[in-house]
Amino acid sequence: MPSKSRLKTLAPDGLGPTVTVGEILVEIMATSRGSGFLEPIELTGPYPSGAPAIFIDQCARLGGRAGIIACVGDDDFGRINVERLRRDGADVSAIAVSPDYPTGTAFVRYRGDGSRDFVYNIGKSAAALVELTPEARVLLARSGHLHVMGTALSIPAIWQVLDHAIDAVKARGGSISLDPNLRKELLGHGQTRERFARLLDIADLILPSGEELHTASGNDNEADALASLFARGAGEVVVKRGALGASLFGADGSRVESPGFLVEEIDPTGAGDCFGGAYIACRRLGMPAVTALDYANAAGARNVTRQGPMEGAGTRAELDLFIANTPRRRP
């Protein structure tokens, strides 16, 4: 049974940056809808991407201290990512550059029903070369919060980095959050299920969306799923509901609702990552839960109105303007 004496709120931003670990890649998108890439078609991009990179970019743009441990190739695709993150205020000191492997890529095409076809190069790219480098150790030694993305758990060496990161953050009195964006199939690989269970046991904040809540908890009923996560020691669970908004549940029985914004969706990629980056930055900056939830909802909604995975990530001023001028769904 996990200890219930650990932090129930996120560590303040002053303790040190929010740090995440995982893949950085570029996304290249088809301009037309259809099935697959079986003929020459027009493409747009490259766009900076990768769930951890999108998350940390939004966190930094909102004013939170933020850094990422990752690897890119010594190529233009890597440079466009590093420069974007640096420009937006993220600490890029622990992004390694591989002289031998290219930056990860994802080619994306939307089908007529809104689903997507992908052609990935991640496993054989620099994105899969995340390691516990000296620069990563230095960043973690002064970090205040660790955010774990489920997408990164497929990287072979990720657990060495995460094990060290968890110990380093907890030793400083920091906090941990988990976005369980993890395919069910991946839970059957090696020790992934056991390690994922450990993450659930130590996470102060869990940010699932849709089916992820049930995958993480093993329960199909929402109330039972939440009870299961709180029994493991979570202090907060934020359920992302897409266009409908989001719900915050506290271990103390509290509940906060934030209705979704009415926007025209251009590209949904990265919305959940922007949501998480905004929510964690706001909470660590001392904002009340209801305020943080509204900013997170706005960040996710604003991002879907732009083409590209992180092109809609907003500053606090931009999100204030978005909230003031965008209608919302009725509760």
Q: Which residues are catalytic?
A: 273
Length of the chain: 331
How far apart are alpha carbons 271 and 296 in whole angstroms? Answer: 10
β-partners of residue 18 are 66, 145
Return the structure tokens found at 153: 């758990």
8 A C-beta contact, residue 66 and residue 89: yes
130 burial via Cβ count (<10 Å: 0-12, 13-18, 19+): buried
Q: How many CA atoms lie within 13 A of 296 on its CB side?
A: 35
8 A C-beta contact, residue 104 and residue 80: no
Cβ-count burial 1-35 (b if 16+ within 10 Å, e if not)? eeeeeeebebbebebbbbbbbbbbbbbbbbeeeee
Cβ-count burial 155-176 (b if 16+ within 10 Å, e if not)? beebeebbebbbebbeebebbb
How far apart are alpha carbons 146 and 130 in whole angstroms? Answer: 16
Please report, for residues 20, 126, 149, 167, 183, the alpha-carbon distance to residue 129 in angstroms, rounded to integers and kept in the order given. Answer: 15, 5, 16, 21, 21
